[in-house]
A and B are shown apart, each in its own frame.
Chain A
């Protein structure tokens, strides 16, 4: 029951918040709920077995029997950390929205909790249609969040976000239905279960676009690529980020973009292995282009939030590169980078939100010399900047290092180009840092009518957990990677015959063999990462 509890508890919270009569106690209530949810999600560790790649804590009930659609939750090493990332960020978001969201507070928290349910459901659903429902449901609260609490061009941004993502996912739905009929053809029983989808052997012909596996591959990949977003489908992202309120940006960058990369790991690569391998050059290419393009565009942004938004395009390019490298380094790095990006970019958006609340401007040129006025803020910003540009000992380093290792192994050419992204990343972040925090004091900083105050206790409380995560993940990556190792290695080594079995509590793990054979590789991987530091 634990997975259902984790997914639907926020929905219950949303209902309670919706009918809560007292406006004053609304925020503490929401904060309490978000913390409760996080604590409940920690219970996953109690039951999670990191030594197996099997699907764990499965809950499965037939839902729409006629078409083999089931209520089907399961967790493995790939989804575990994404679930925790979601539950970890939510209390931080509630706390960060304390002063930035001042209107329609109730509606905001209702949206937030519905969104949390949708995101958690996306990560845990193991049935195609069930997954699709959560996937699309996530759009609605996000749409309202940007549309109601966003900036001046919020309506344009929110409609664009909605149409882009909806347009991407409808083809996925068609492909899903088609695959349900494929299961009926092969097994005689229609099923929408992901586990049955994995068993399908879908014909693939290299060199042509018109083979069944390629078509289905692109139908799925388009949906996920728009969500990620990869270049050139990324144009909704800067708009959405700039117009979104701080909490919206944090969720968008922290979790929602991961829904896309998670989709690649969970659906695209294992379901269409030959097509993924064949077309990997395309995705590595657009990943690399995204890295460099995102970095170059970020460099010239006058708006600091837009800069971070484009840096997201760049960072997500790394994740794509890692995933399509198809080796242990790449995949592990990709997964790790998803978490890193959630923490670092989330934190950056929160920091930008804090300074925006004080000055109501995000223009880089209007700042300058902030370090002298807001020392504490500067320290936090600096730490997060270092993490974002992947300085060793921070979380960002581990992820990017793995990804680049993996890419060198798989396709060195792309790695040569991708490495320049690391340099460019340092350039735009440090340059921005210099212009905002050092040099002559800008008009906003000097403004005597509105003296700037340094961080208060609440804001420090928001940032401390994020900074702790930055170092924890940077110094002890094995604490995290150990949980996902078995699942990721299973994906890497059995890509062409990927199969998930349901873990029976007490029974010996069915894929223990694969886990042990691949163990040396991962140990080597993680050892290499630590040795390099």
Chain B
């Protein structure tokens, strides 16, 4: 295989390069200062600067389905949208890291370096069309995350979380790689683009290819916490410091779904009825398991973790739709739109959970929210917006996200998936309403760490306004997403 690397390849990957260079700045500065931390706000600004530049480069140079590095990476609408969503989520998570007691101050440069490295992995993952590239992206993203969780100062839970995440994450990677090996064995190639055209035939004729596909899919199911491969999620989400959890629940999920979408969009689902059925059942089980288990949770983060499992189920419906639709952009744009809305509302909810944490080992229960509406009405209102949006109540963005997603599913004839989605949304009302009930209707003294206006507050308010506002312009936004995929 001969590979010519030209200027266009470099330009296309420039967001990754920019991000990587920006990630080096804080630790370099620390080393040059004789291993003394620089002011964390400067570190944060360097990181956010890197993200802004990367987003800009991604928007300017990406798009139009250009490929780089011998078809290893592709830069199309999916890359752009998912990349931007992931980077912005990462940025918001870093703002939270700056202010959360568990991640504040100590070793902040290293933390930011790891988060940025993880983001570089994410960018590789969203653009990868070669299964080995996907693997590299996945590992780069995950390894940095394992470290991030492990280096947090919380006593026990985070170490346990890191270990669990590491073991199960490695297991998922192994499954994935195993599948890739089978695919390579049958096609002699690991590039999705090369077998995209005949994947439907291959899967019918070749058992080994089907085998490989199933393992690749299962690997992704682990990563995006599809039930019954979700068991690690609640523990890890609860154990990790809240900003990290926000990072995992939004950015990591977004990019993992991007890669998942690329694999499914090979129309292999059309080829194999069994794989199609299996994924549909997984989606249904995930929606039900996530939503019913969340009802039982009293810990706010754990509840949000289960809710994020449920949302994976919804998104999987969109992924399946994209896989069987003649017009792949149709389902995929639903997925991207949903991820956009999901990112905003989940980040917002976690940001508020983060604000409520006074000390490193403080566990926020739903009951701790009592009286929040009286003490900090603005924050309570924002959390209400996020929760109503997560439930899918109009006119919030979450409603439109679900609307586009299930609209595509119904248009593709997957009526029963849409109905299951709706039924599980009804179940979700129960636990999403609980914090609202507690905040507004129960007396108490909510423990809010700081009363001054800080960056997290600003982020939260901005997100709440975005959720209310973007709903009204969701039409043009959806069309923009869809057009970019064609």
State A12–B482 Cα separation when bound (angstroms): 34
Interface residues of B in 403-422 (CB under 8 A from A): 403, 406-407, 410-411, 415, 418-419, 422
Give every chain A residue within 8 A of B393 (Cβ-Cβ): 136-137, 139-140, 166
State A66–B374 Cα separation when bound (angstroms): 42
- 16 A-B pairs within 8 Å (CB atoms) are namely A65-B479, A67-B475, A136-B394, A137-B394, A139-B393, A140-B388, A155-B441, A158-B437, A163-B429, A167-B429, A170-B422, A170-B423, A170-B426, A173-B403, A177-B410, A178-B410
Q: Is residue B433 within 8 Å, beta carbon to beta carbon, of the partner chain?
A: yes
Chain B minimum-CB-distance residue to A167 = B426
Give every chain A residue within 8 A of B441 (Cβ-Cβ): 147-148, 154-155, 158
Q: Is residue A171 within 8 Å, beta carbon to beta carbon, of the partner chain?
A: yes
State A63–B394 Cα separation when bound (angstroms): 15
Overall SS of chain A's interface? helix
Q: Is residue A282 within 8 Å, beta carbon to beta carbon, of the partner chain?
A: no
Q: Is residue B474 within 8 Å, beta carbon to beta carbon, of the partner chain?
A: yes
Give every chain A residue within 8 A of B394 (Cβ-Cβ): 132-133, 136-137
Chain A minimum-CB-distance residue to B477 = A64
CB pair A162 B433 closer than 8 Å? yes
Q: Is residue B469 within 8 Å, beta carbon to beta carbon, of the partner chain?
A: no
Q: Is residue A352 within 8 Å, beta carbon to beta carbon, of the partner chain?
A: no
Chain A minimum-CB-distance residue to B425 = A170
Give A106-142 as 1s and 0s: 1 = Cβ < 8 Å from B's Cβ atoms.
0000000000000000000000010011001101100
- Not counting A67-B407, A159-B437, A163-B430, a sample of 14 additional A-B residue pairs whose C-beta atoms are within 8 angstroms of each other reads A65-B479, A133-B395, A136-B399, A139-B393, A144-B440, A147-B437, A155-B441, A163-B426, A163-B429, A170-B422, A171-B419, A174-B410, A177-B403, A181-B411
A155: which of B418, B437, B478 is its contact (CB, 8 Å)?
B437
Give every chain B residue within 8 A of A171 (Cβ-Cβ): 419, 422
Give every chain B residue within 8 A of A65 (Cβ-Cβ): 475, 479
Give every chain B residue within 8 A of A140 (Cβ-Cβ): 388, 393
Interface residues of B in 427-469 (CB under 8 A from A): 429-430, 433, 437, 440-441
State A142–B419 Cα separation when bound (angstroms): 26
B406: which of A63, A166, A177 is its contact (CB, 8 Å)?
A177
Give every chain B residue within 8 A of A148 (Cβ-Cβ): 440-441
CB pair B475 A177 closer than 8 Å? no
CB pair A178 B415 closer than 8 Å? yes
> Which residues from chain A sit less than 8 Å from chain B, CB to CB?
63-67, 69, 129, 132-133, 136-137, 139-140, 143-144, 147-148, 154-155, 158-159, 162-163, 166-167, 170-171, 173-174, 177-178, 180-181
CB pair B430 A66 closer than 8 Å? no
CB pair A173 B474 closer than 8 Å? no
B422: which of A63, A137, A174 is its contact (CB, 8 Å)?
A174
State A174–B426 Cα separation when bound (angstroms): 13
Minimum distance in angstroms from B438 CB to a CB of chain A: 9
Give every chain A residue within 8 A of B423 (Cβ-Cβ): 170
CB pair A63 B437 closer than 8 Å? no
With A147-B440, A154-B441, A174-B406: A162-B479 Cβ-Cβ less than 8 Å: no
Give every chain B residue within 8 A of A144 (Cβ-Cβ): 440
Chain A minimum-CB-distance residue to B483 = A66
State A63–B393 Cα separation when bound (angstroms): 19
Minimum distance in angstroms from B461 CB to a CB of chain A: 15
B418: which of A69, A162, A174 is its contact (CB, 8 Å)?
A174
Chain A minimum-CB-distance residue to B410 = A177
Minimum distance in angstroms from B336 CB to a CB of chain A: 14
Give every chain A residue within 8 A of B433 (Cβ-Cβ): 143, 159, 162
State A154–B430 Cα separation when bound (angstroms): 15
Give every chain A residue within 8 A of B479 (Cβ-Cβ): 65-66
Interface residues of B in 356-413 (CB under 8 A from A): 388, 393-395, 399, 403, 406-407, 410-411
Chain A minimum-CB-distance residue to B391 = A166
Chain A minimum-CB-distance residue to B440 = A148
State A96–B394 Cα separation when bound (angstroms): 30
Give every chain B residue within 8 A of A181 (Cβ-Cβ): 410-411
State A181–B415 Cα separation when bound (angstroms): 12
CB pair A69 B425 closer than 8 Å? no
CB pair B418 A177 closer than 8 Å? yes
Interface residues of B in 238-282 (CB under 8 A from A): none
CB pair B475 A66 closer than 8 Å? yes
Give every chain B residue within 8 A of A132 (Cβ-Cβ): 394
Minimum distance in angstroms from A388 CB to a CB of chain B: 32
Give every chain A residue within 8 A of B430 (Cβ-Cβ): 159, 163
Residue of B407, B411, B429, B430 with most chain A CB atoms under a 10 A cut-off? B407
Minimum distance in angstroms from A116 CB to a CB of chain B: 16
CB pair A129 B395 closer than 8 Å? no
State A132–B407 Cα separation when bound (angstroms): 14
CB pair A174 B415 closer than 8 Å? yes
Minimum distance in angstroms from B314 CB to a CB of chain A: 13
Residue of A63, A66, A155, A163 with most chain B CB atoms under a 10 A cut-off? A66
State A402–B321 Cα separation when bound (angstroms): 51
Give every chain B residue within 8 A of A162 (Cβ-Cβ): 429, 433
Chain A minimum-CB-distance residue to B333 = A66
Residue of A69, A140, A147, A166 with most chain B CB atoms under a 10 A cut-off? A166
Chain B minimum-CB-distance residue to A135 = B394
Give every chain B residue within 8 A of A137 (Cβ-Cβ): 393-395
Minimum distance in angstroms from A374 CB to a CB of chain B: 33
Give every chain B residue within 8 A of A167 (Cβ-Cβ): 426, 429
Which 7 A/B pairs are nearest by Cβ-Cβ distance?
A64-B475, A170-B422, A133-B394, A167-B426, A147-B441, A177-B410, A136-B394
State A54–B308 Cα separation when bound (angstroms): 47
CB pair A166 B426 closer than 8 Å? yes
State A65–B388 Cα separation when bound (angstroms): 25
With A133-B395, A159-B437: A69-B422 Cβ-Cβ less than 8 Å: no
State A69–B406 Cα separation when bound (angstroms): 16
Chain A minimum-CB-distance residue to B400 = A64
State A532–B479 Cα separation when bound (angstroms): 60
Interface residues of B in 472-486 (CB under 8 A from A): 474-475, 478-479, 482
Minimum distance in angstroms from A175 CB to a CB of chain B: 10
CB pair A173 B422 closer than 8 Å? yes
State A136–B394 Cα separation when bound (angstroms): 6
Minimum distance in angstroms from A462 CB to a CB of chain B: 27
Give every chain A residue within 8 A of B403 (Cβ-Cβ): 129, 173, 177
Minimum distance in angstroms from B470 CB to a CB of chain A: 12
State A143–B439 Cα separation when bound (angstroms): 13
Minimum distance in angstroms from B482 CB to a CB of chain A: 7
Minimum distance in angstroms from A531 CB to a CB of chain B: 48
Give every chain A residue within 8 A of B406 (Cβ-Cβ): 174, 177
Residue of B410, B426, B441, B482 with most chain A CB atoms under a 10 A cut-off? B441
Minimum distance in angstroms from A492 CB to a CB of chain B: 33
State A163–B475 Cα separation when bound (angstroms): 28
A64: which of B415, B425, B426, B474 is its contact (CB, 8 Å)?
B474
Give every chain A residue within 8 A of B426 (Cβ-Cβ): 163, 166-167, 170
Residue of A133, A167, A173 with most chain B CB atoms under a 10 A cut-off? A173
Chain B minimum-CB-distance residue to A159 = B433
State A181–B393 Cα separation when bound (angstroms): 22
Minimum distance in angstroms from B416 CB to a CB of chain A: 10
Give every chain A residue within 8 A of B410 (Cβ-Cβ): 174, 177-178, 181
Minimum distance in angstroms from A409 CB to a CB of chain B: 38
State A132–B441 Cα separation when bound (angstroms): 27
Minimum distance in angstroms from A141 CB to a CB of chain B: 12
Give every chain B residue within 8 A of A147 (Cβ-Cβ): 437, 440-441
State A65–B479 Cα separation when bound (angstroms): 8
Minimum distance in angstroms from B195 CB to a CB of chain A: 32
State A171–B415 Cα separation when bound (angstroms): 11
Give every chain A residue within 8 A of B388 (Cβ-Cβ): 140
Chain B minimum-CB-distance residue to A215 = B415
State A358–B423 Cα separation when bound (angstroms): 44
